[in-house]
Copies of this chain bind each other. A is one copy, B any other.
Amino acid sequence: MQIGKIIGTAVSTKKDEKLEGLRLQIVEYIEPSGKSTGSHVVAVDSVGAGVGEVVLVACGSSARLTETSKEKPVDAIIMAIVDELAGEGSVYYKNY
């Protein structure tokens, strides 16, 4: 999974019918330190994550293994909201 921060939402009315009702979040990929990598992805939200939250994104066929995304033409899913990223004796990020 990649670490990212939600920076917005994509709105689309003309889309594949299987996408109806899915929430499409714009995620900026970040390093554990919080620094942006400069890359983005638009991912389906399966956990109720909102703008500003740090999340984990799974890509490829794995993105279709949640109830939300099953058999849909999506290649990226937000499957966790990050509380903390920590090493031994160091904390990269915390949200509490």
Contact = CB atoms under 8 A, between A and B. Distances in A.
For chain A, give the interface size range. 35 or more
A1 B59 CA distance: 9
Contact of A12 (B71, B82, B90): B82
Copies in the complex: 5
A85 B3 contact: no
Interface of A: 1-3, 7-16, 18-19, 24, 26, 31-32, 40-43, 46-49, 51-52, 56, 58-66, 69, 71-77, 79-88, 90, 92
Nearest to A91: B8
A42 B56 contact: yes
Given A1-B74, A15-B81, A60-B60, A8 B86 contact: yes
Given A1-B41, A62-B72, 12 more contacts: A2-B42, A7-B87, A8-B88, A9-B86, A10-B80, A12-B80, A14-B81, A24-B56, A24-B80, A31-B40, A58-B75, A62-B64
